Amino acid sequence: MPTEVWTVKRILTWTTGYLERKGDEHPRLSAEWLLSNACGLTRVEIYMNFDKPLTPSELDLMRAGVRRRGAGEPLQYVTGEMPFRHIVLRCEKGVLIPRPETEILVDAALEGVDAALACGDEHTMPRVLEVGTGTGCIACSIAGERKRAIVIATDVSPQAAALARRNEEALGLGGRVDVVACDLVAGVAEELMGTFAVFVSNPPYIPSDVVPTLPVEVQGFEPGLALDGGPDGLDVFRRLLDEAPRVLAPGGMLCVELFEENVHDAALLVEEQPGWASVEVRDDLTHRPRVLVAVRDR
């Protein structure tokens, strides 16, 4: 009896239909990602190789991936990677998945780096401190896009810190991202305090009573430690704000991603603290208020 042949086109079509029935919001895209991961093809190559049969090992990988995605597991955990800005990062269960909205946070942090470069000379190497680095998406993007920036990135999760280190090494950033496993800034050398041009964070900011209402693939798979920000979502932000005057150099910038319903409350907290020259709230890619940017007095 002839063996059933699964070509690229056939399995792409079948997977798209299956994931659509399972409630995937973007079943075709998910199918392309899974197929790319299983077969080592780019999305363009998928469409140039429709008649290519999958090998037994490729078919096994595809089936395993489809089962996991069909059960609601985030695609980034299934494939083990996530594109972010100009880089591709390894992802794994237990570490928060980077979001497109966070690219706006990186844009703000880069403005702070550029301001420090503009005020210095050709030897200036602005320091950036990131809290809650997760995969390292923010720290690695800053170091990759500003060759003179030096980044210290912390995370309270040893697993996240280890993953961020692996991503820094894989991206060949020359050790310009130093990852420290610690709570907030506890592991940062005291002599560096007051020297940072940018203090940036994407902390847990979802109010506790909102967390259970998040999509199943978020609350059911991503770490609660990286999501739950306490009753109003600002527990960690308050701690960051307390540390900011000690962390930042004169004229330094605080950049924090927050929840659309609490970011303006966070801005009021900044305004109540002396020593800030300005504070503003910026929208994300979906035009929701998302990123707080505050600049210290000089």
CATH of the domain at 12: 1.10.8.10
Comparison of pLDDT for 264 and 44, the residue scoring more: 264
% helix / strand / coil in the chain, to the nearest 5?
A: 45, 20, 35
The structural domain count of the chain equals: 2
Decide if pLDDT at 1 tops 60. Answer: no
Query: pLDDT value at position 217?
Result: 85
Tell me the pLDDT tens digit for each residue of 112-128: 999 999 988 778 899 99
Q: How confident is the model at residue 2 (pLDDT cuts 50, 70, 90)?
A: very low
Amino acid of residue 107: D
Q: Is residue 97 part of a domain?
A: no
Q: Could you identify the residue written with the tokens 């140039």? A: 48
The mean pLDDT value for 284-292 works out to 93
Residue (of 128, 122, 51, 135) closest to 93 by Cα position: 135
DSSP string, 74-142: -HHHHHTEEEETTEEEE--TTSPPP-TTHHHHHHHHHHHHHHHHHHS-TT---EEEEE--TTTHHHHHH
Q: What is the distance between the alpha carbons of residues 82 and 70, in angstroms, rounded to a whole number?
A: 19
Residue 73 in contact with residue 65, Cβ under 8 Å?
A: no
Q: What is the distance between the alpha carbons of residues 136 and 82, in angstroms, rounded to a whole number?
A: 12
Q: 66 and 124 share a domain?
A: no
Please count the residues of the chain: 298
- 104 Cβ partners below 8 Å, 6+ apart? 257, 282, 283, 284, 285, 290, 291
Tell me the pLDDT tens digit for each residue of 155-209: 999 999 999 999 999 999 989 999 999 999 999 999 999 999 999 999 999 999 9
Tell me the pLDDT tens digit for each residue of 213-255: 998 889 889 999 999 999 999 999 999 999 999 999 999 999 9
Q: How confident is the model at residue 4 (pLDDT cuts 50, 70, 90)?
A: confident
CATH code for the domain of 231? 3.40.50.150
Q: 167 and 36 share a domain?
A: no
Q: Which domain holds residue 291?
A: 102-296
Query: pLDDT value at position 91?
Result: 96
Of 56, 72, 88, the last residue of a domain is 72
Query: pLDDT value at position 121?
Result: 78
Query: pLDDT value at position 201?
Result: 98
Query: pLDDT value at position 3?
Result: 59
Instruction: Pull the structure tokens for residue 32.
Output: 């392309």
Comparison of pLDDT for 286 and 171, the residue scoring more: 171
DSSP 3-state of 34: helix
